[in-house]
Amino acid sequence: MPTNNAAHKFSVGQKVRLEEGGARYFLPAGGYVITRVLPGDDFDRTYCVRGIVDGLERVLREPQLCAGVPAV
């Protein structure tokens, strides 16, 4: 199975937020911290992230994320 070997946009420890617009997939607002960089598939690179507010880990695709944390 081929994989997307392009470099990941974000690195472990980096704070990110959900991309504006588009489907939010019922994800809570607030910032996230990248905890693991996962292998990509044919479409997108993926990340394991931990919510700053709720502390839960999720796996999100790169197009769902952008750099920085939301203003409070």
The domains of the chain are located at 15-67
**Does residue 1 surpass a pLDDT of 50?**
no
Query: For the whole prediction, is pTM greater than 0.95?
Result: no
CB 71 within 8 A of CB 63: no
CA 62 to chain centre: 6
Tens-place pLDDT, residues 21-41:
655 667 777 799 999 999 877
